[in-house]
Amino acid sequence: MTQLPDRNGRFGVFGGRFVPETLMNALIELEQEYNRFSEDPEFKEEIAYLLKQYSGRETPLYYAERLSQQLGKAKIYLKREDLNHTGAHKINNAIAQGVLAKRMGKGKVIAETGAGQHGVATATVAALLGLECKVFMGEEDTKRQQLNVFRMKMLGAEVIPVTSGSRTLKDAGNEALRYWVSNVEDTFYVLGSVVGPHPYPMMVRNFQRIIGDETRKQILETEGRLPNVILAPIGGGSNAIGMFYPFLEDKEVGLIGVEAAGKGVDTDFHAATMSKGTHGVFQGSMSYLLQDEYGQVQEAHSISAGLDYPGVGPEHSYLKDIERVQYVPITDQEALDALQLLCRTEGIIPALESAHAVAQAVKMASTWSEDDIVVINLSGRGDKDVESIMAYTGGITE
Amino acid sequence: MNRIDETFASLKQQHKTALIPYLTVGDPDVKSTLDIIHELELAGADIIELGVPYSDPLADGPVIQRASERALKSKVTIRTCMETARLARDLGSKLPFILFTYYNPVLQTGLDTFFEEVLKNDISGLIIPDLPVEESEEIRSRAHAAGVHLIPLVAPTSHERIASIASEATGFVYCVSSLGVTGERSDFYSGIESFLETVKQYSHVPIAIGFGISSGEQVARFSKICDGVVVGSAIVRQIESNIPILEKEETRQQGLLQIREFVAQLKG
């Protein structure tokens, strides 16, 4: 299970490299360079140094006592990825890909972004490493996340609003790929999730697995055993795979990915790729996909711009089919309620994405006993979402 | 014999280059596509690429993206596109048809049904821009069994991949003129001539060039070194600008004629 992908970039039937021929050599080169550098002690040291001294790792595994009491019996821990520099787990991957870009001699980087977290992380790393940075962002998302757009500009990045298709994350991804096809010789594409063509799903997972590696070490230190359940939100799936991967072989640990049900999985407005999707090829790989019977990709909907994506990582698709990870949907309203709950019990404003995982804990709490230990991956902080929550609730906080 | 092979063989005897126009099926509707195919044939087209509209066409620039959006609004599916080839044939078209489609619509049709439809609708070739050779083994063998060509693409960045892609090609090799997506352009890849020479050296079948070729002058330039020239976005743009005229009964013929004249001057 942990040996995948195979040499063709496949996780079972999922993954692969479905891209225009123009990009094939760039992807092969990226894979070779990644493989070479991932065994280079200097490369590993540089990343480890930046994660510690620049981003502030390791992030705490915090026992949320008041939340635990409020919900019932189990002990609930929060993996505080929200305390990273730039406010989310996205920086783990952006630092590593930025360092890789620089070592490969590419002076220009591009990225796609939905909520803006990956865009901000990439813009930050580009500023730190002296790289030129362009970020593609759906026009709709630039409106929902104006603060992040401004942050990226302050950091020196150029933000390119994407006006094709549904003007959200999937279209930003398409446009980033189109730009890369045109500028592949001098540009490094910093892809933000465990999606896209091989080697990205593998590489991004390996750059994010630090979340799960730390969690494992921390829970063993505090509790002397592994947790019963781990919850993580999932759009493309990078924080979730980063958290889950080091636990895949521990069969006693239940792993639950929480996806966005928007207004409900039985409406036309959701991003529940695992609950409602079918196998398809999208943005370079085979995975579960929201699509119609003719293979046209459908638009996703979620209050959380980071989960608003009709695809999902190929490795998650595989983990669903072999039933190692369970994937469940949470609606906009359930996520908002959980966000409010965490604010009031713990004084933590989580990102809307992360609030989906908290909501699943609320749902499951009555089934847990006092011996149970639960970990929620709090993938990001909610400062970026305050405006859109105000708009959604009309400014009412009760 | 496959119609594409027949066409290239006959053009070779006449020392001519194939003009291969692309259009998106159902832009703005299927009836217009059939009429435009007829005009393209009158204008001297040798092979026609029928584009399947797709929600996420990542190898295409803005012109073909817009055509895709228009066609999807008219509920055009991959099946509609294949049936359009048959309708054009029944209306008397003699040209070989190539289906240009992204992979996902093919996958969702199911390979068995897809190839049944390809044969039933007399489609001679397939171009799947997001299916590199590494991922195409099964579809290639099925195409081979059906006597249909899966036309491979090679790009200026293909380098050492050119040898294996070109030497195993059937039908023709589609050479991508530039780094980038489809769309009219004035500059091509700087080493374009030597790139084309390299492809020729390895290929046992004709070579065609496409992506960005939009004027008679460019067609003439590449006709000297290639066996075929594909023109896509420039034609789709002609169709787009003529949509208001095509939609009115009294001016429709005039619109069709303008498209024919544009393509005829490409042919030179």
DSSP calls for A79-94: EEGGGSGGGBTHHHHH
Chain A neighbors of B77, CB-CB under 8 A: 294
Long-range contacts of B192-199 (CB under 8 A, 24+ apart): B192/B156, B193/B225, B195/B156, B196/B225, B196/B226, B197/B225, B198/B162, B199/B154, B199/B162, B199/B166, B199/B173, B199/B175
Mean pLDDT of the region A356-378: 97
Stated as kind and residue range, the H or E segment containing B40 is helix B30-42
Is A379 assigned a catalytic role?
A: yes
Asked whether residue A317 carries a pLDDT value surpassing 90, the answer given is: yes
What pLDDT is stored for residue A146 in this prediction?
A: 87
Quote the tokens at residue B177: 């003129």
Give the DSSP letter string of A147-197. HHHHHHHHTTPEEEEE-STTSSHHHHHHHHHHHHHHSTTTEEE---SS-SS
Q: Do A22 and B56 touch (CB under 8 A)?
A: no
| Position A393 confidence tier, pLDDT thresholds 50, 70, 90 | confident
Instruction: Say yes or no for a CB contact (<8 Å) between B130 and A8.
Output: no
Cis bond upstream, residue A199 (ω within 30): yes
How many CB atoms are closer than 10 A to CB A49?
A: 12
Instruction: Tell me the nearest-neighbour CA distance from A211 into chain B, angstroms.
Output: 33
Among the partner-chain residues B65, B132, B179, the one whose CB lies closest to the CB of A181 is B179
Instruction: Indicate which residues of B carry an active-site annotation.
Output: 49, 60
Asked if residue A58 has pLDDT above 90, the reply is yes
- 3-class DSSP assignment, residue B166: helix
B103 lies within 8 A of chain A by CB: yes
pLDDT at A398: 56
Rg (CA), chain A: 19
CB atoms within 10 A of CB A371: 9
Question: Across the interface, do B157 and A284 touch by the CB < 8 Å criterion?
Answer: no
Confidence of residue A1 (pLDDT cuts 50, 70, 90): confident
Q: What is the pLDDT of residue A397?
A: 64
Torsion, Cα A25 A30 A36 A39, to 10 degrees, reads -160
pLDDT band at A208 (very low <50, low <70, confident <90, very high): very high
Per the CB < 8 Å rule, is A24 touching B158?
Answer: yes
Instruction: Flag if A297 and B55 touch (Cβ within 8 Å).
Output: yes
Per-residue pLDDT at A114: 87
**Which of A19, A21, A164, A282 is the best residue to mutate to test the B interface, defined by the most B CB atoms within 10 Å of its own CB?**
A21
Residues of chain A positioned with their CB less than 8 A from the CB of B107: 279-281, 295
Q: What is the pLDDT of residue B268?
A: 79
Beta bridge partners of B156: none
| Measured distance CA(B21)–CA(B8) in Å, rounded | 15
pLDDT at B89: 98
In this structure, what token pair is assigned to residue A138? 């759906």
How large is the angle between the packed helices A90-103 and A41-49, nearest 10 degrees? 140
Q: Please check the confidence at residue A394 and state whether its pLDDT lies above 90.
A: no
Whole-number pLDDT of residue A188: 98
- Contact between A239 and A351 (Cβ < 8 Å): no
Give chain A's mean pLDDT: 96
- Known catalytic residue: A112? yes
Residue B26 touches chain A, beta carbons under 8 Å: no
CB A124 within 8 A of CB A98: no
pLDDT by residue for chain B (268 residues), tens only, comes to 899 999 999 999 999 999 999 999 999 999 999 999 999 999 999 999 999 999 999 999 999 999 999 999 999 999 999 999 999 999 999 999 999 999 999 999 999 999 999 999 999 999 999 999 999 999 999 999 999 999 999 999 999 999 999 999 999 999 999 998 999 888 888 899 999 999 999 999 999 999 999 999 999 999 999 999 999 999 999 999 999 999 999 999 999 999 999 999 998 7
Chain B contacts of A16, Cβ < 8 Å?
134-135
Cα B176–Cα B179–Cα B181 angle in degrees, nearest 5: 80
List residues of chain A with CB under 8 Å from any CB of chain B: 8, 16-26, 164-165, 170, 174, 177-178, 181-185, 279-284, 289, 291, 293-298
Contact across the interface for A178 and B106, Cβ inside 8 Å: no
- Sign for the pseudo-dihedral over CA of A39, A45, A51, A57: positive
User: Buried b / exposed e across B94-115, counting CB within 10 Å, b at 16+?
Assistant: ebbbbbbbbbbbbbbbeeeebb
- How far B136 CA lies from chain A's nearest CA (Å)? 10
d(CA B199, CA B176): 11
Q: How far apart are CA A326 and CA A320, in angstroms?
A: 6
Tell me which of A296, A297, A298 to substitute to probe the interface with B (most B C-beta atoms closer than 10 Å). A296
Contacts of B195 by beta carbon, 8 Å cutoff, 6+ apart:
B156, B175, B189
Q: What is the pLDDT of residue B186?
A: 84
Cα dihedral sign, B34-B39-B42-B45: negative
What are the residues whose beta carbons fall under 8 Å from the beta carbon of B79, sequence distance 6 or more?
A: A294, B109, B117
Q: Which of A196, A140, A193, A136 is nearest to A166 (CA)?
A: A140
List pLDDT tens digits, range A223-271.
999 999 999 999 999 999 999 999 999 999 999 999 999 999 999 999 9
Identify which of A232, A283, A275, A282 has the alpha carbon closest to the alpha carbon of residue A254. Answer: A232
Q: What is the structure's pLDDT at B199?
A: 98
Picking from B77, B154, B165, the nearest residue to A294 by CB comes out as B77
Q: Which residue of B has its CA nearest to A197?
A: B130
Q: Which residues of A touch B138 (CB under 8 A)?
A: none
- CB contact under 8 Å between A181 and B181, yes or no, is yes
Q: Which residues of A touch B161 (CB under 8 A)?
A: 21, 24-25
What residue of A is the nearest CA neighbor of B159? A25
B66 → chain A, closest CA residue: A164
Contacts of B154 in chain A (CB under 8 A): 21
For an interface test with A, the pick among B24, B25, B54, B58 (most A C-beta atoms closer than 10 Å) comes out as B58
Per CB-CB distance under 8 Å, the chain B contacts of A18 are 103, 130-132, 135
CA–CA gap between residue A157 and residue A130 (Å, rounded): 11
Contact A229, A256 (CB under 8 A): yes
